[in-house]
A and B are shown apart, each in its own frame.
Chain A
Amino acid sequence: MTINIKKIHLFRTNLNKGCLIIGFGLNLYQILGSVKPNPIMAETQDEILEDVVNSEYKYGFVTDIEADNAPIGLTEETVRFISAKKEEPEWMLEWRLKAFRDWQKMTEPQWANVHFPKVDFQNIIYYSAPKPKKELSSLDEVDPELLKTFEKLGISLDEQKRLSNVAIDVVFDSVSVKTTFQETLKEKGIIFCSMSEAIKEHPELVKKYIGSVVPKNDNFYAALNCAVFSDGSFCYIPKGVRCPMELSTYFRINTAGSGQFERTLLIADEGSYVSYLEGCTAPQRDENQLHAAVVELIALDNAEIKYSTVQNWYPGNEEGKGGIYNFVTKRGICKGNNSKISWTQVETGSAITWKYPSCILAGDNSIGEFYSVAVTNNYQQADTGTKMIHIGKNTKSRIVSKGISAGKSQNSYRGLVKVHRKAENARNFSQCDSLLMGDQCGAHTFPYLEISNNSSKVEHEATTSKIGEDMLFYFQQRGIDEETAVAMIVNGFCKEVMDNLPMEFAVEARKLLAISLEGSVG
């Protein structure tokens, strides 16, 4: 076991006081019982102080599980190895190989406002799965090492089963270990399983929709994902079904030097509704790890998808060493009329973030929303935003992006609003505000507006400012210390976005914000 004793200790102290932060996607009300989900304020001064002391990344432990790794590097053989390992049908392998050949011809995108040493794509383990992999019928059969890790994270599977009404499809280093609440969902006809299972069990759905929103040669990282994706989640909500619980996937990166390439495919059939949560933590590592995920959402007539993310991967230490490279392609299509897709994200982790959750508003009267809070501290760099492509008539989109940069970080918003010629009466409202904390950081906005329809209305506004001294004074005058005051101001700044998160996530996200920004005011 290579466990950092100190870290575990710190972790325990956190657990004792009911560590809010780690219950990703869980119903914290029930787990914590007495703790009210009122963020920051639920904490005593002592606890905040303690957080300041261990404001380093809290989850930097490594679980020693024998991994079934692919050989380092990427060749056609690696792709075949992964496909064979997952016992995939021929068409899937063909699809992967095509993507791989496209990828070979592509180059990394250079336009983002982020700087980092070139990634050596031949020095990555493209597949690692926990062993032994066998069909499990109960939790007892799950690798005890794995269970321990989850326990450390505060989401022991049995507790989830008992307590929460959230079904969790746990992806632990690429392979889905255990899927819970399958039964409840099955009654409604909802399919919620790992991608590899879906390829075997529901090939017709996968075949029809995979790559239909993000084509396999869409961009460099998406093509890479298509070639080597190890696992991910698949979800299908049948016609007219309102998913009774919030679906959640839990990702965790393990195994040194392995990139994680998950793939999520979510289909909401006519008249259905689903809310999907995604949250992430990763163990502390010195070298940079690559993460290139693809998420595809499809909303048919009258369907609604709500997709929420809290991302808290290791951001690197104070000198900017280590940290995750997060290059994600997320895109949803409102295929049917009156459909709606809503993205909400809270980005506090990762050394480099390159992420643009987008909506293609193809159906008439469809709605796309994007709510984002991106926090960068120390040497973090984030280039994130959205794309709203208006194609259908009377389509509406709303963008609310809040960027907070502290330390020596760089935070960029990059967004596109495109109104096609036939998108009659399209409506867009965008707002991106930046808050600067410290004089060494940067905040940037790169909005692109491309409008080809005259009946459309497009508005964009952006502001950049710092926390006013008058605001701080107001708080301090009322006996609230500076650190708490800043946390409260930041929470107020982000309120519009937080309000769009499911409650459990909102609690966690508020805590995350406070922790990410600790010590950055002075």
Chain B
Amino acid sequence: MINELENILPSVKNDHQKASLQNAIAIGVPSMKHEEWKYTYYNKILQQGFTPAFVDDQQPSVEKEFIDEYAVSENRIVFVNGVFHNELSQFNSHPKINFWNSNNISESSTKDFLLELNNALATDGVFLEIGDHVVSEELIEIFYIHTNSSAIVNLRNKIKVGKNAQVKLAEYYINYDANPAYSNIVTEIEIAQDAIVELDKIQDAGNLFNITDNTFVKQDRNSVVTVNTFSLTGGITRNVLQFDVNGEHATANMNGLYLLENEEHVDNRTLVNHNVANCESHELYKGILGGKSTGVFNGKIIVKQPAQKTNAFQSNRNLLLSNDANIYTKPQLEIFADDVKCSHGATSSQIEDSELFYLQARGIGKEVARGLLVYAFAAEMVERVKNEKLRNKLQSRIAELLKIEL
């Protein structure tokens, strides 16, 4: 990997990209010795033969009907193999919502290999700007479609939400022709005061699709931001979600559901930086683990010294359906302010016998009862999706994956 990066170094023209590539080479590929990567073997993605490269501009053909199957709204921004696809994208014109594709590359000097790799190799991405006071009921959907390509797809997005705006966004990963895929996506979201934003991440692209996603949210005062992450199917998935709460009376909500089977692996990392006083954060991640799957949850809440009167709550609950599944969870609090209420909790167990008994006593067969209980466990997360169409879709998809009839 590092060799390949060194090989492309001379062909990089942009100074920022060159610097990032050099950084990435210096940092090196993450190993399990690194605390942040303790339970996820990154090389397992690379071993599937993905190479770092600039993607070619050639547009593979994807039919519009294909997208229709997934989309629930008329606002679509579509990327195929990391390139913006003009014909498939469409947008109900709204005078104050603008988007254009841009590479969004900036000066970067982090210690994170994936961020540097992304900055070095990203050629495309969306720049979405939502004006002040825009209230849009309809979802804005972003599609990451992958067809036959062994290149690592690096996309870099920027989303700006104006004052008092209310919008809902969703992103989907789709594997068009079931070839191995790896997307490394970075999204930066800036939210102005009083805005209400929901972002739903739907990761359901089959077990050949690997994802490393970094999402950074900066929110200003009085804003309410909710990020829902649904990891339904996938290969190795790693989601990093970071919130910087920079204005008073802001609320950050993080919800996640991971549904794992076979040898699937999901690593969810969240970090909330409470930088100012009087803010709240609520976090709930739930996992259902079957087969030989592995779930990792690392939630970190940092309450800085000025952030008095912070309320921060975090919870991670896991249901283990198989004895070969593993869950590694690390809910973490770092608190430097004294007038706060913070809590975290983590649980892991299988289905309660008493709950099963309750249903069986009422004439429900054991398998059906089990299905009901597992579905109910997951349903709590789906209910947090505000858009009805998307919610219904998710409900039936989860029922399908859990092999139960609603």
Set of chain B residues within 8 Å of A440, measured between Cβ atoms? 305
**Mask of A433-444 contacts with B, CB within 8 angstroms, 1/0:** 010111111111
Is the pair B329, A449 in contact by a Cβ cutoff of 8 Å?
yes
The answer to whether B321 and A464 have CB atoms under 8 Å apart is no
B343 on interface, CB distance cutoff 8 Å: yes
Residue A111 lies at the interface, judged by CB distance under 8 Å to chain B:
yes
- Chain B binding surface, main DSSP class: strand
Contact of A457 with B348 at beta-carbon distance under 8 Å, contacts A446-B330, A464-B342 already known: yes
B327 and A451 contacting across the interface, CB-CB below 8 Å: yes
Contact indicator B335/A442 (Cβ below 8 Å): yes
Chain B residue contacts of A455, Cβ below 8 A = 323, 350
A16 at interface, CB cutoff 8 A: no
Hey, which chain B residues are within 8 Å of A463, CB to CB? 341-343
Q: Is the CB of B318 within 8 A of A436?
A: no
Known A442-B334, A443-B335, A464-B333; contact A452-B326, beta-carbon cutoff 8 A? yes
Total chain B interface residues with beta-carbon distance under 8 A? 35
> Which residues of the partner chain B approach A448 to less than 8 Å between Cβ atoms?
328-330
Q: Is the CB of A454 within 8 A of B335?
A: no
B315-365 CB contacts (< 8 Å) to partner A? 318, 320-350
A460 lies within 8 A of B347 (CB): yes
Determine if B308 is an interface residue (Cβ-Cβ < 8 Å). Answer: yes
A437 and B332 contact, CB distance less than 8 A: no
Report Cα–Cα, A455/B308, bound state, in Å. 41
**Residues of A within 8 Å of B, CB-based: how many?**
34
- Option from B322, B335, B345, B347 in Cβ contact (under 8 Å) with A464: B335
Q: Given A421-B323, A460-B345, A462-B345, A449–B334 Cβ distance below 8 Å?
A: no
CA A459 to CA B346, docked complex, whole Å: 6
| Contact across chains for A451 and B340 when beta carbons are under 8 A apart | no
- Give Cα A460–Cα B327 distance, bound, in whole angstroms: 14
Q: Which residues does chain A contribute within 8 Å of B330, judged by CB atoms? A: 446-449
Closest to A431 in B: B345
How many Å lie between the Cα of A477 and that of B117 in the bound state? 62
B338 contacts across to A, CB distance below 8 A = 436-439, 441, 466
Bound Cα distance A210, B24 (Å): 46
Q: Does B35 contact A (CB under 8 A)?
A: yes
Question: A410-446 interface mask toward B, CB cutoff 8 Å, 1 = contact, 0 = none?
Answer: 0000000000010000000000001011111111111
A421 to B308, CA, bound (A): 43
Q: In the bound complex, do residue A450 and residue B328 qualify as a contact, i.e. CB atoms below 8 Å apart?
A: yes
Q: 1/0 per residue A195-219: CB within 8 Å of B?
A: 0000000000000000000000000
Whole-angstrom CA separation of A447 from B349 in the bound complex: 17
Bound form: Cα–Cα A444–B323 in Å: 32
In the bound assembly, the distance between CA atoms of A254 and B327 in angstroms comes to 47
State the Cβ distance, A7 to closest chain B Cβ, in Å: 33
- Asked whether B305 lies within 8 Å of A456 as measured between CB atoms, the reply is no
Are B326 and A450 in contact, CB atoms less than 8 angstroms apart?
yes
A465 within 8 A of B: yes
Contact: B339 with A454, CB < 8 Å?
no
Using Cβ atoms and an 8 Å threshold, which residues of chain A touch B305? 439-440
CB-based contact A458/B347 at 8 Å: yes
Chain B contacts for A438, CB-based, 8 A: 338
Given contacts A444-B334, A446-B332, A460-B347, contact A454 B342 (CB under 8 A): no
Pair A447/B320 contact, Cβ less than 8 Å: no
A438 CA / B340 CA spacing, docked (Å): 12
Closest to B289 in A: A454
Beyond A436-B335, A454-B325, is A466–B340 a contact (Cβ under 8 Å)? yes
> Using Cβ atoms and an 8 Å threshold, which residues of chain B touch A441?
336, 338
In the complex, chain A residues 455-485 whose Cβ is within 8 Å of any chain B Cβ: 455-466
CA distance A80 to B376 in the complex (A): 66
Chain B residue nearest to A430 (CB atoms) is B346
Distance in angstroms from A440 CB to nearest chain B CB is: 8
A453 within 8 A of B: yes
* Complex contact B323–A461 (CB within 8 A): no
Shortest distance between the CB of A396 and any CB in chain B (Å)? 14
A76 to B: closest C-beta gap in Å: 30
A451 pairs with B335, CB closer than 8 A: no
- A residues 474-518 near B (Cβ < 8 Å) are none
Bound together, the chains give a CA A175 to CA B275 distance in angstroms of 52
Bound complex: CA of A463 vs CA of B346, how far in Å?
12
Determine the chain A residues whose CB is within 8 A of the CB of B318 once the complex forms: 451
Q: A458-B349, A461-B344, A465-B342 provided; 9 other pairs, C-beta below 8 A?
A: A436-B335, A440-B305, A451-B328, A452-B327, A454-B350, A456-B320, A461-B343, A462-B344, A462-B345
The contact sample of 7 A-B pairs, CB cut-off 8 A, is A421-B324, A436-B340, A439-B308, A445-B331, A448-B330, A449-B348, A453-B323
Q: Which residues of B contact A (CB under 8 A)?
A: 35, 305, 308, 318, 320-350
